[in-house]
Amino acid sequence: MWSSRLGRPRPLACGVEELRRRRREREAALRKARREQQLVSKRLLREDVPEEAAGEGADAPLGEAEVQQFLRLAQRGTDEKEREKALVSLRRGLQHPDTQQTFIRLEGSMRILVGLLTSNRALLQLEAARCLHELSHSEQSAVAEACLPATSYLLTYLSGHSSDFIELCLYTLGNLIVESEAVRKQLVPQGIIPALAACIQSPHVAVLEALGYALSQLLQAKEAPEKIIPSFLDSTLPQHMLQLMQPGPKLNPGVAVEFAWCLHYIICSQVNNALLITHGALSTLGLLLLDLAGAVQRTDDAGLELLVCPVLRCLSNLLTEVPVEAVGGQMLLRDERIVAALFILLEFFLQKQPSLLPEGLWLLNNLTANSPTFCTSLLSLDLIEPLLQLLPLSNAVSVMVLTVLCNVAEKGPAYCQRLWPGPLLSCLLNILALSDTEVVGQSLELLQLLFLYQPEAAQAFLQQSGLQALERHLEEIQLRDRVHAVQHTALHG
Amino acid sequence: MLLPPALQARLAGAPGAAEPLPVQRDSAAGAAPFLFSPRPVRFPRDHQFFEDGDVQRHLFLQEVLTQVAEEPEKSRVPEFTCQVAGCCQVFVALEDYQHHYHMLHGNTCSFCNRAFPSGHLLDIHILEWHDSLFQILAQRQDMYQCLVEGCPEKFKTSQDRKDHMVKLHLYPADFRFDKPKTNRGPSTPGAAVELSARPLRDDEEAMEVCSEPAMLTPCRRTYSHRIPSTICFGQGASRGFKRTRKNKHQ
C-alpha cells in the first residue's frame, strides 16, 4: 500500500534532479507556512501539469462565455452524452484558477452546479461533484466560500452507499474545510460530526481514508479546540477511530495514518485527554507501536514513518496526563517491549528520516522520567550504548539523549553502577570539548548525578583530565556555577 | 545504531518487565545550582518541535491530493442496460453503473418510486408520506423530525421543521430532500402515464421521481427497497476510485 502510493511513477518531463529541487522548494514553502501558522496542505502542483500534458490544451482557462455555454448545455441539453461532455469540459477548465474566478463571478453558476449535483442523472451528478472538487482545490477562500450552497448536499450524500461518490464528497469537504473558516462555521451546525460518525461505519477502505483526511483537516483548524473537538469527543467517533487503529490483520495503514493524525490534533489540543485514556487510547497506541516496530523489520517500506510519527506524538502527550495513581493500571507502562519497539523505530528513523529522531527521544523521555521500570529496562536490554551512538548527530538530539540518561542516573546508586564502568564517561568528556551551552549544561547535570552516586566514576574522570575539560566553560555565565559544583563534587566526593 | 541482537526477540516475546532496580535518592542531587529533575514533557499544537513531522505529513498529503484530483480510470465494458424494472439507462463503465444504482435504486420508496440519497431520508419519507398512523399521531404530538442526522428535535409541522433546519442548521430554504408533500406522483395508473409524457426537468423535482416511466404493479411491496452497503458489484469492498489508478501505474 505504501510503496504504491509514494512510489507512483509520473510521466517525467523533467529529470530526477529537477524533482528533488522541486521537492526541496515545496518543503521550504511548507516550513515557511508552518512558521506563519498557515499550513495549508492542498496546494496542488498545477505548475507541473502543462509540462506533462503537453499539447492537450485542456488546461487553458475558459472565458466567461465558454463557462456559461457549458453550464447551459449541461443543464438543458437534450442529449445525455452532450450534457456530460459539457460538464467534463467545464471540470477541465476549472483546474485553472482563472476559470475558477470566472465561474464564481458568474451569476447563478453555483445554483446550476448544485442543481446538477442533486439531479437524478447519476453521471451528471458525478461530474458536477468533480467540478466542485476542482473548485475545492482553490487557494482563494472566496472560491471555497462560493461552494457553501453545496455543503448540505455533500453531507447528505455521506450517508449514501455509492462509495466512489462518498469518497469524492469527503475529499471535497476536506479541502473546503482547510481553506475557509466560514465553511467550517457552516459545516458544524449542518451536522458534519454526526454525518462523519455515520460514515465511519462504511466497510470501504477508500471511504475511511477520505474520511480521515476530512476529519484531520477539521481537527487541525485553529478554532478546533473550542468549537469542534468538544462535540467530536461527545460523539461515537473516538471509539470507532480507536477500533480502526487496532493492530492486526485488518489494520489498513492508509486509514490508520489519517486517524493517527486526527488523534494527534485532538490530544495536543488538550481538551479532554482523560476521556481518550478511558477509551483505551494508550493501550491501542502502544500495541500499534509494537506492531509498527515489527513491521519495520519485515518490510522496507519508506512510508512507515508517516504512521509512526503521529503515534509517537500521541503516546508522548498522553503519557503526561496519566494520573500517578492510574499508572499501575496501565498495562503499557509495565511492558518493556515498548522500549524495545521504540529503539527499533529510532534505528529506523536514523536510516530513513533522521529529522524525526527528536520525536522518538521525546517519547523515551516521557517513558523513563518517572519510571524505575523503564529506566531498568534501558539497562537490562543493553540500550545505553546504542543511545550514546546518537550523541554526535545534532545538538537537539544530544540534549535529549543526555536528558534520558539523567532520568536513569537520578534514580540512585543502583542505576549509576550500571552506567559506569562503560563508555559513558568518555562520551561525556568528548561533549565537554563542544561549545553548545545547552548540551554542555545537560552533560554537567549528568556528571553531577554520576559522581554523587558512583564516586569511582569521579576518580576516573579526574584521571582522564576531566578538570581541564571543564575549565574552558567557566567563562560561560549559564555554566559557571555548575562547572564549579561539578569540580567540587569530583574532588571532594 | 547498533542494536543488541536480543532486542528483536524481546519485542516478539511476552509482555512484562524485569523487576525495577531499587530507587535511592540523595537530597544533594537536585540542589542548586543544578536544575535537572525528571519530567515528562508536553508539547501543544503549534509548537516548533513538531515542524519537521508536520512538513513531512503535508508533503505526503499534497501527493495524495494530486492523485485524487486526477481523471479516474474507468473499467470499460460492453454496453449494458440497468436491469431495474422501468429503468432503461445504458452504461459502458461499471463505476458509472454502480453510482447510478446506488443513487437511483438504492434507497427507493416502493410506494411512490422516489429515490433518496440515504436510508435515513427514505425512512423519514415513508413515515411522513405513506404511513397513515403518522398523520393521526401528528395531530396530537410533534412528529416531524429534523432531517439532520444526530439532531433529536421534532416539530408539529413540516414548515416548523424547515424553519428549524434553516435557522439552526443553516440548511438552504430550498433543500431538495425536504419538499412538502404534494398530490403529484404515481399514485394512480393515470398519473404514471401523465408523468412519462412530460419531459423531465431535473433541476425541478430532483431526486424525486425515477427518470423513466414508473412501473406500477398491482401488488405493492410493503418493505423499502434497500441495498446493503457492502454490495459492490463484484469489485470488492475495498475498491475505491484511487485504487484503479494505482493499479495502472504500478
Q: To the nearest whole number, what is the mean pLDDT of chain B?
A: 76
* Residue A326 or residue A216, greater confidence: A216
pLDDT in tens, A68-82: 999 999 999 888 889
CA nearest to B63 within chain A? A6
**B174 vs A: CB within 8 A:** no
> Nearest CA of chain B to the CA of A309: how many Å?
7
| CA-closest candidate to residue A169, choices A209, A210, A221 | A210
What are the backbone angles phi and psi of residue B107, rounded to the nearest 5°?
A: -120, 75
Bridge partners of B225, per DSSP, are B108
| Cell 412519462 -> residue | B196
Q: To the nearest whole number, what is the mean pLDDT of chain A?
A: 89
Q: Which residues in A lie closer than 8 A to residue B241 (C-beta atoms)?
A: 164, 167-168, 206
Long-range contacts of A74-81 (CB under 8 A, 24+ apart): A74/A112, A74/A116, A74/A124, A74/A127, A74/A128, A75/A112, A75/A115, A75/A116, A75/B203, A80/A121, A80/A123
CA nearest to A153 within chain B? B175
Band of the pLDDT at A41, cuts 50, 70, 90?
low
Q: For residue A225, what are the contacts with CB-CB under 8 A and spacing of at least 6?
A: A269, A270, A271, B45
Q: Is the pLDDT of residue A53 over 80?
A: no
**Cell numbers found for residue A435:** 561549545
**CA angle in degrees (0–180, nearest 5) for A79-A82-A86:** 140
Residue B62 to residue A37, Cβ atoms within 8 A: no
**Cell numbers found for residue B177:** 430532500
Beta strand pairing status for B154-155 and B144-145?
Answer: antiparallel
**Cell numbers found for residue A302:** 519508506
Amino acid at A367: L
In chain B, the percentage of residues whose pLDDT exceeds 70 is: 72
Residues A274 and A322 sit within 8 Å (Cβ to Cβ) = no
Bridge partners of B155, per DSSP, are B144
Q: For residue A483, what are the contacts with CB-CB under 8 A and spacing of at least 6?
A: A444, A470, A471, A473, A474
**B231 vs A: CB within 8 A:** yes
Q: Which residues in A lie closer than 8 A to residue B21 (C-beta atoms)?
A: 372, 375-376, 379, 411, 414-415, 418
Residue A453, Cα to own-chain centre: how many angstroms? 41
* Residue A14 or residue A408, greater confidence: A408
For an interface test with B, give the residue of A20, A78, A116, A120 to mutate (most B CBs within 10 A): A120
For an interface test with B, give the residue of A90, A156, A244, A399 to mutate (most B CBs within 10 A): A156
> Nearest CA of chain B to the CA of A463: how many Å?
23
Helix (H, G, I), strand (E, B) or coil at A301: coil
Residues B153 and B250 sit within 8 Å (Cβ to Cβ) = no
**B27 vs A: CB within 8 A:** no
Q: Which residues in A lie closer than 8 A to residue B68 (C-beta atoms)?
A: 133, 171
The mean pLDDT value for B75-95 works out to: 83
Q: Which residues in A lie closer than 8 A to residue B87 (C-beta atoms)?
A: none
pLDDT at position B182 is 66
| 65-104 of B, contacting A, C-beta below 8 A | 65-69, 72, 89, 95-96, 98-100, 102-104
Q: Which residues in B lie closer than 8 A to residue A75 (C-beta atoms)?
A: 203
As a whole number of angstroms, the distance between CA B127 and CA B141 comes to: 15
Residues B29 and A452 sit within 8 Å (Cβ to Cβ) = yes
pLDDT in tens, B210-249: 333 333 333 333 344 455 554 455 444 343 344 333 433 3
As a whole number of angstroms, the distance between CA A289 and CA A260 comes to: 11
- Looking at residue B115, what DSSP letter applies? B
pLDDT at position A285 is 96
pLDDT in tens, B181-218: 765 544 433 333 333 333 344 444 444 433 333 333 33
The answer, yes or no, to whether the previous bond of A225 is cis (omega within 30 of 0) is no
Nearest to A370 among B38, B170, B250 (CB): B38
For an interface test with A, give the residue of B202, B211, B241, B248 to mutate (most A CBs within 10 A): B202
For an interface test with A, give the residue of B70, B95, B149, B166 to mutate (most A CBs within 10 A): B149
Residue A189 to residue B227, Cβ atoms within 8 A: no
Q: For residue B236, what are the contacts with CB-CB under 8 A and spacing of at least 6?
A: none
pLDDT at position A122 is 87
pLDDT at position B225 is 46
**Cell numbers found for residue A56:** 492537450
The helix (run of H) or strand (run of E) holding residue A67 is helix A64-76
Q: Which residues in A lie closer than 8 A to residue B40 (C-beta atoms)?
A: 316, 319-320, 365-366, 369-370
Nearest to A195 among B104, B106, B149 (CB): B149
Residue B53 to residue A334, Cβ atoms within 8 A: no
**Cell numbers found for residue A250:** 485488518
Q: Which residues in B lie closer than 8 A to residue A235 (C-beta atoms)?
A: 150
| CA-closest candidate to residue A485, choices B97, B73, B36, B183 | B36
Q: For residue B247, what are the contacts with CB-CB under 8 A and spacing of at least 6?
A: none
Residue B1 to residue A359, Cβ atoms within 8 A: no
Band of the pLDDT at A207, cuts 50, 70, 90?
very high
Beta strands in B117-203 (DSSP E): 144-145, 154-155
Band of the pLDDT at A34, cuts 50, 70, 90?
confident
As a whole number of angstroms, the distance between CA B207 and CA B47 comes to: 48
What are the backbone angles phi and psi of residue A356, rounded to the nearest 5°?
A: -95, 0
Residues B144 and B160 sit within 8 Å (Cβ to Cβ) = yes
Ranking A173-182, B52-61, B200-209 by mean pLDDT, the lowest is B200-209
Residue A372 to residue B21, Cβ atoms within 8 A: yes
Nearest to A452 among B28, B120, B229 (CB): B28
> Nearest CA of chain A to the CA of B20: how many Å?
5
Instruction: Give the number of A-B residue pairs with CB atoms closer than 8 Å.
Output: 370
Nearest to B203 among A39, A119, A362 (CB): A119
How much is the ipTM here? 0.87
pLDDT in tens, B112-121: 988 899 899 9
As a whole number of angstroms, the distance between CA B102 and CA B107 comes to: 7
